[in-house]
Amino acid sequence: MTTYLIKGVRPLGGDAADILVEDGRIAAIGESLSPAGADVVEAGGLVALPGLVDLHTHLREPGREDAETVETGSRAAALGGFTAVHAMANTDPVADTAGVVEQVWRLGQEAGLVDVVPVGAVTVGLKGERLAELGAMADSAARVRVFSDDGHCVADPALMRRALEYVKAFDGVVAQHAEEPRLTTGAQMHEGDRSARLGLTGWPAAAEEAIIARDVLLAEHVGARLHVCHVSTAGSVDILRWAKSRGVQVTAEVTPHHLLLTDACAESYDPVFKVNPPLRTDADVEALRAGLADGTIDAVGTDHAPHAVEDKESEWAQARPGMLGLEQALSVVIETMVEPGRLDWAGVADRMSVRPAAIGRLESHGRPIAVGEPANLLLVDPGHRAVVDPAALASRSRNSPYAGRELPGRVVATFLRGTPTVLDGKAVR
Amino acid sequence: MKRHLLEAADLDRDDATLVLDTAAQIDQALAGREVKKLPTLRGRTVVNLFYEDSTRTRISFELAAKRLSADVINFSAKGSSVSKGESLKDTALTLEAMGSDAVVVRHHMSGAPHRLAHWVRGSVVNAGDGTHEHPTQALLDAYTIRQRLGRLDGVRVTIVGDVLHSRVARSNVGLLHTLGAEVTLVAPPTLLPVGVGSWPAEVGYDLDAVLPKSDVVMMLRVQAERMNASFFPSAREYSRRYGLDAHRMGALPDDAIVMHPGPMNRGMEIAADVADSVRSTIVEQVANGVSVRMAVLYLLLGGSPQ
């Protein structure tokens, strides 16, 4: 195994140091290290962070390999600085059995670019009718700990209660897609001034907030862990803050696009901006940034959702919801949180690596940058600004909402257990 | 004028007035003529692309284009390549390849004409998209009001009914405001969009309170399917609270007019004797629709003036 000497890097944005990576671990940290035979990575001016962990990725395999595969999604993740991604269960077939989650897990191992951690469906076929074999998925080689019907809400309150209770047996967590379906029939965008004018059916904030409020009460009642996917409204942040103050075991994520974009994007009727939950208002964006800054929102989850061209090049209502996120997630966080001074680098590491790893119970990710720790690292040039070109992305799909937008931050290198997956800003393979 | 007419906001006050004045000139030019045809768009091709059944709007556009001597192609989604799964983009590229100068599009999805405008070089005219806009309906309504009342500035227009799902309401609020009218929306709260407060219109729930202060009452069609979704308890209750009958019509000022974009539900939002009264402009609206659409096509395609 090659030994790497990362020279002059600033761990978590602190003082410059050299990091020696050997046998998959951080072997030494110090000034002017000069071990024999190490490959040198010049990292002056770069910031080192623990490899990012995504709680919310759609890799589309099996079923929609034309939009993304485990391999192409893994490459996109590595280029974004990730060393672990949770692969959502809404594949075809649905990841609701040990067989499917093991298949996804094995494809991830074969790609070898990030740790692909399968998410198991909560209910059979994501239908919200009866529990999938959660224990079998937990006991499988994929060791599933996060369960989600993402794309669909576990709307039945009794079923949600049972799911929350049941996964306690193996320290699992239910990641809820909070959307009261009776309030979002035909919904196309955030319900407010803009939906009124555009004549697109509204998705009211209350449809998300009502489910979060219900679920934090259920989680409290049964003493279970709840994770809330893609929180998008100011009201949701308030409810989460209240629940945490009561000691409820609830965690939450926000997507990069909800931190940056608003429902004004819908005025183009370009479905690249159609996503579920929808882009919200300026006030919501501000509340989400504040919630992420004060820790009410624990994590950034990309909700990376690749779609084939024909599923987006259409009428708004015809298009499928979702947008790419893995390759620009860190850039968006730098733009919205670091540059305005709302989160320091330790904060970025916490929200994008430490806490998501803890939520997913991943032991070798989200670790400190310290001697003896697994060498899951990324090096980022925070000052580098570039215009996003969808054609240059590693994802098989092109539905980036950031196309044409200039964003800061370039991931120069990513190391997975001491092996580079990205060097000089390019995927190693 | 902009290249496309997608929504009322594409027209500023000068543009909108120009359309109405042009329609009036066309009416004058054709008045009393035996052959109701102008040669201005000879050799130009207008495609009527209809994804939604709408006989009256399609016929109106077809007649408008034919009276300007354009070649007209009717492309309806049913029984065409669209019903075989062809995408809007592919249909657009096909029409483009055939050399259409203008596409008149009716679509059940809001924003479809905006998308189409990205894919064709010619002009796109929105003939109604989902619950978004129907700008030529608003133009013909404005034309009718001006014809009857002699002005638009300061005219008090009350629009009654299912504003939430109405493209006619959205276009009229925008256009009539642009032209200086004062718009009031009256509906049960369930049929007003969240966010309606940001529109340039007053909003009320009590029709009887507004009628004495209305120069124009525009009744919107209420779709039968709204009743199954609890927007209101029953057709009878809707009719009692928001329908326009002869008794209510009596509360209007003497020269006030009653409009309806059609097709009407007689006995639901409008009583038969109101629809057939001298105040009613419903038949004029249909006739004016052709003139206004001729004006729009003429101005967008820049036909040679007579």
In a domain, B123, yes or no: yes
Residue B224, pLDDT score: 74
Residue B306, pLDDT score: 40
Quick check: is B2 catalytic? no
Query: Average pLDDT, stretch B113-141?
Result: 97
Residue B84, pLDDT score: 72
Query: Average pLDDT, stretch B100-120?
Result: 96
Quick check: is B57 catalytic? yes
Largest CA distance in chain B: 56
Contact B259/B183 with Cβ under 8 angstroms? no
Q: Which residue of B has its CA nearest to A316?
A: B111
Check whether residue B119 and residue B190 sit in a common domain.
no
Average pLDDT of chain B to the nearest whole number: 94
The pairing of beta strand A426-427 with beta strand A419-423: antiparallel
In a domain, B306, yes or no: no
Query: Average pLDDT, stretch B22-46?
Result: 93
Collapsed DSSP state (helix, strand, coil) of residue A51: coil
Query: Average pLDDT, stretch B17-22?
Result: 98
Write out pLDDT tens, residues B240-282: 999 999 999 999 999 999 999 989 999 999 999 999 999 999 9
User: Which of the residues B22, B40, B45, B57 is marked catalytic?
Assistant: B57
Q: CATH code at B294?
A: 3.40.50.1370
Query: Average pLDDT, stretch A373-380?
Result: 98
A–B CB contacts, 8 A cutoff, strictly below? 73
User: Which residues, at least 6 apart from B53, have a Cβ–Cβ distance to it below 8 Å?
Assistant: B76, B78
pLDDT interval class at B304 (50, 70, 90): very low
With helix as H, strand as E and coil as C, how does chain B read?
CCCCECCHHHCCHHHHHHHHHHHHHHHHHHCCCCCCCCCCCCCCEEEEEECCCCHHHHHHHHHHHHHCCCEEEEEECCCCHHHHCCCHHHHHHHHHHCCCCEEEEEECCCCHHHHHHHHCCCEEEEEEECCCECHHHHHHHHHHHHHHHCCCCCCEEEEECCCCCCHHHHHHHHHHHHCCCEEEEECCHHHCCCCHHHCCCEEECCHHHHHHHCCEEEECCCCHHHHHHCCCCCHHHHHHHHCECHHHHCCCCCCCEEECCCCCCECCCECHHHHCCCCECHHHHHHHHHHHHHHHHHHHHCCCCC
Tell whether B134 is within 8 A of chain A (Cβ): no
In a domain, B87, yes or no: yes
Check whether residue B155 and residue B89 sit in a common domain.
no
Q: Which residues of B touch A187 (CB under 8 A)?
A: none
Residue A352, pLDDT score: 98
Check whether residue B202 and residue B276 sit in a common domain.
yes
Distance to chain A for B165, nearest Cα, Å = 7
Residue A57, pLDDT score: 98
Residue whose pair of structure tokens reads 């638009």 in the numeric block: B152
Tell whether B4 is within 8 A of chain A (Cβ): no
The pairing of beta strand B102-107 with beta strand B45-50: parallel
What's the one-letter identity of residue B7?
Answer: E
The pairing of beta strand A115-118 with beta strand A82-87: parallel
Least confident window among A45-49, A333-337, B95-99, B124-128: B95-99
Distance CA A397, CA A404 (A): 16
In this predicted structure, the answer to whether residue A304 has a pLDDT above a threshold of 60 is: yes
Distance CA A174, CA A165 (A): 10
Residue B55, pLDDT score: 87
Collapsed DSSP state (helix, strand, coil) of residue A167: helix
Write out pLDDT tens, residues A204-215: 999 999 999 999
Tell whether B109 is within 8 A of chain A (Cβ): yes
In a domain, B1, yes or no: no
Query: Average pLDDT, stretch A54-67?
Result: 98
Distance CA B182, CA A4 (A): 73
Distance to chain A for B28, nearest Cα, Å = 36
Cis peptide before A401 (omega within 30 of 0): no
For chain A, list residues whose CB is within 8 angstroms of any CB belonging to chain B: 188, 191-202, 204, 268-270, 310, 313-318
Give me the residue spans of the domains in chain A: 4-47+373-427, 51-359
Tell whether B51 is within 8 A of chain A (Cβ): no
- Best interface-test mutation with B: which of A191, A198, A200 has the largest number of B CBs within 10 A? A198
In this predicted structure, the answer to whether residue B305 has a pLDDT above a threshold of 50 is: no
Beta bridge partners of A21: A4, A26
Contact A171/A143 with Cβ under 8 angstroms? no
Check whether residue B144 and residue B246 sit in a common domain.
yes
Contact A155/A180 with Cβ under 8 angstroms? yes
Check whether residue B48 and residue B119 sit in a common domain.
yes
- Best interface-test mutation with B: which of A194, A268, A315 has the largest number of B CBs within 10 A? A315
Distance CA A26, CA A5 (A): 10
In a domain, B27, yes or no: yes
Check whether residue B141 and residue B121 sit in a common domain.
no
Domain containing B15: what range? 8-133+286-301
- Fold for the domain defined by A4-47+373-427: Urease, subunit C; domain 1 (2.30.40)
Nearest Cα residue to A41 out of A12, A72, A8: A8
Count the Cβ atoms, other than its own, within 10 Å of residue A329: 27
CA–CA distance from B103 to each of A382, A400, B261 (Å)?
48, 30, 22
Distance CA A113, CA A79 (A): 10
Average pLDDT of chain A to the nearest whole number: 98
Nearest Cα residue to A109 out of A57, A74, A59: A74
In a domain, B102, yes or no: yes
**B79 or B279: whose pLDDT is higher?**
B279
Residue A207, pLDDT score: 98
In this predicted structure, the answer to whether residue B80 has a pLDDT above a threshold of 80 is: no
Q: Classify burial at A83, counting beta carbons within 10 Å of its beta carbon; exposed 0-12, middle 13-18, buried 19 or more.
A: buried
User: Which residues, at least 6 apart from A134, have a Cβ–Cβ distance to it below 8 Å?
Assistant: A120, A122, A144, A147, A163, A166, A167, A170, A172
Tell me, yes or no, if the two domains A4-47+373-427 and A51-359 fold the same way. Answer: no
pLDDT interval class at B303 (50, 70, 90): low
Number of structural domains (chain B) is 2
The CATH classification number of A51-359 equals 3.20.20.140
Residue B302, pLDDT score: 80
Q: Which residues of A touch B134 (CB under 8 A)?
A: none
User: Which of the residues A303, A311, A381, A389 is marked catalytic?
Assistant: A303
